[in-house]
Amino acid sequence: MRPPAAESGLQIPHAAWLEIRLGRMGSNLDALRAHCSKETDVLAVVKANAYGHGLLESARALQGRVRYLGVSSLRELLTLKENHIEAAIFVFGRLAGPEIRAALLDGVTLSVSSLEEAQEIAVVSAGLGRKTPVHIKVDTGMGRFGIPFREAVKVIEKIVLLPALEIEGLYTHFPTAELDDGFADQQLSDFALLIQALAQKGIKFRYRHAANSAGILRHSHPLLNMVRPGLLLYGIYPDTTLKSIIQVQPVLALKSRIMLVKTLTAGATAGYGRQFSAKKPTRIAVLAVGYSHGYPFNAWRDAEVLIQGKRYKLAGRISMDYMAVHLNDDTLPRDEEVTLIGENQGDRIGAEDIADWAGTIPYEVVTRLLGQLPRIYL
C-alpha cells in the first residue's frame, strides 16, 4: 500500500525517508520530448527500481505517455505485469534460459544480442504458439551485449528468418555519450551504415534507437526514431555540462531527522577511526541515515546536509545506520528535519553533488538507496 502523502516530512512518522514528486517526472519527460523531433518515440527506463524512485509508482506515472517502459530483469517485468501496468515493456540485457518462458507475455518485447539467443527465444515461442517481438542489439563500441558491428549484417539476415520472432527494432548503446571525444559520432555513423545496408536487403525496422540520457542531448541522427531516457527523466544530470542544454527538476529528496544533539568536550572525537576531533566544546547532531540506507560512505570528508536552509558538514565517518553532523555553535532541536538530497529553503543538494563528494556517479547514488526506505509520493 502506498504511504499517505504529506506536505511536510515533519508529518511523516519516519526517521529517514524519501519524498518523490511524480509530477516533476512528467515535466521532465515533456522537456525531453521538446528537445527531440515530434516523430520520436520514448522508451522510458525504469530498471533498478526506477533509479531508486520506485518501480511501480514511476511506471504508473509514465504509462500511457511513452512507447515502452524499460526493465532489465524478469523480476521487474513480472512485478509490472502482476500489478496490471498497461504499458508495453522492453527487457534489456539477456534472460537466463529458464527465464525465457516466463517472460513471453503479451505486451513484452525482448532484446536479442546473438543468433544463438534469438534461436533460443524462437524455439520457446514456437512451443507456446507465440510470435515474440524483439529488438536486435548491435555492439558498435560498448563491448558488452550486442552482435559485433562487423558481423551484424550476416547474423541479422539469419535472425529475420526465424518464424517465431517479430523483428521490431534495432539498437545500440553509447559508452561515452556525455563526452566530446568523437566516439559516439563514429558509433552513430556505423549504426546508420548498418541500417542502410540492411534496408538494401529488404530488412527494415520499425524502431531504431541509440540515445540514453546524455545521448539525447548530444547526439542525434535522422535515421533514429526512439530515445531511451533514464537519469534525466528523474531530474538528474549524467554530467554537469548538460545543464545548459536542458532544464529538468529533481524528482527525489532524501530526508532524515535529528535523533540526538550532544556537546563534545574539547579533544573528544566522533565516529569510527576517530577522524573528527573537537577543537573546542562542539555541538553535533546524529541523523538516522548511514551507508546501509545507500548513502555513500566515501562522501564523508566533503558531504554537507541542509537544516533550516543552512549547510552543515559531517562530523567524522558515516556509520552503517547513522551519521553525525557538526552544528558549529548553532542550537537545533531534536526531530528537526534534515535534507540530504533535495531542496531546503532556497538551497539544494543534488545527487550529482553527493556523487562528486564520494568520487562516484549520480547513477550509483540513487540506485543504491535502500528499497526499504519509506517512499512518500507527493
Catalytic residue among 47, 51, 255, 377: 47
Give CATH for domain 22-235.
Answer: 3.20.20.10
pLDDT at 10: 44
pLDDT at 11: 54
CATH 3.40.50.1970 is the classification of domain 252-377: no
207 catalytic, yes or no?
no
Q: Write phi, then psi, for 368 (nearest 5 degrees).
A: -90, -5
pLDDT at 99: 96
Interval 204-252: pLDDT, tens: 999 999 999 999 999 888 999 999 999 999 999 998 889 999 999 999 9
pLDDT at 241: 87
Tell me the domain boundaries of the chain: 22-235, 252-377
Catalytic residue among 201, 255, 272, 313: 272
Q: What one-letter code names the amino acid at 273? A: G
pLDDT at 1: 35
Q: What one-letter code names the amino acid at 336? A: E
Q: Write phi, then psi, for 46 (nearest 5 degrees).
A: -120, 15
Q: Are 63 and 82 in contact (CB under 8 A)?
A: no
Cα 27 to Cα 46: distance, rounded to the nearest angstrom = 16
pLDDT at 181: 87
pTM for the full predicted model? 0.92
Non-local CB neighbours of 106 within 8 Å, separated by 6+ positions: none
For the chain, residues with pLDDT lower than 50 are 1-10
pLDDT at 14: 86
